[in-house]
Amino acid sequence: MKALAEDTDFALIDRGVGPEQQTMAADKVFWSHLCTNLAPSTWVLGAILVAVGLDFKAGLIAILLGNILGTVLIGFLAQIGPRTGLTQIEASRFSFGSLGTRIPAALNWLCAVGWDAVNNVPSVLALVVLAAGFHVSLPFWAGLTFLVVLQLWASALGHHVVQLLAKYLCWVLIVVFGVAGTVAIAHGGSFAAGHGPFSVARLILGTSMVAGFVISFGPYSSDYTRYLPATTNRAKIFVLSAGGLMTSSMVLELCGLFTAGSLPDLSPAGVIAGIATLTGTFAPVALVAIAASSVSINAINDNTAAYSLMSMGVRVPRHVSAIVTALCGFALAIAGAGRFAELLSNYLLLLLYWIAPWAGIVLADWWLRGGGPRRIHPWSSGALIFCVVTPLTIALFSATELYTGPLAKLLGGADVGFVVGFFAAGLLYVGSERVRAARGAPARYRTGSETAL
Q: Where are the domains of the chain?
A: 2-348
Residue 451 confidence (pLDDT): 40
- Cβ–Cβ < 8 Å for 208, 349: yes
Q: 19, exposed or middle or buried, with CB in 10 Å at 0-12, 13-18, 19+?
A: exposed
d(CA 395, CA 143): 39
Residue 337 confidence (pLDDT): 61
Nearest to 126 by CA among 108, 116, 140: 140
Give 371's DSSP letter: T
d(CA 190, CA 51): 15
Average pLDDT for runs of 10 along the chain of length 453: 48 78 87 82 84 86 93 93 89 89 90 81 86 87 86 67 66 78 73 67 85 86 90 94 92 86 71 79 84 80 83 78 81 70 62 87 88 70 92 82 76 76 92 80 43 40
Q: What are the residue ranges of helices labelled H in 280-380?
A: 283-311, 318-336, 340-369
Residue 163: half-sphere exposure toward Cβ, Cα within 13 Å: 21
d(CA 216, CA 116): 13
Collapse the DSSP code of 409 into the 3-class scheme (helix H, G, I; strand E, B; otherwise coil) and give the result: helix
Residue 7 confidence (pLDDT): 45
CA 270 to chain CA mean position, Å? 24
What is the maximum alpha-carbon separation in the chain? 75
Q: Which residues contact 283 (CB under 8 A, 6 or more apart)?
A: 133, 275, 276, 277
Residue 374 confidence (pLDDT): 62
Long-range contacts, stretch 9-15, CB < 8 angstroms, 24+ apart: 9/306, 9/310, 9/317, 9/318, 10/310, 10/315, 12/87, 13/86, 13/87, 13/90, 13/307, 13/310, 13/311, 15/85, 15/453
- Cβ–Cβ < 8 Å for 240, 27: yes
Q: Which amino acid makes up residue 204?
A: I
Query: Whole-prediction pTM value?
Result: 0.82
Residue 74: half-sphere exposure toward Cβ, Cα within 13 Å: 33
Q: Which residues contact 15 (CB under 8 A, 6 or more apart)?
A: 85, 453
- Cβ–Cβ < 8 Å for 61, 255: no
Collapse the DSSP code of 143 into the 3-class scheme (helix H, G, I; strand E, B; otherwise coil) and give the result: helix
CATH architecture observed for domain 2-348: Orthogonal Bundle (1.10)
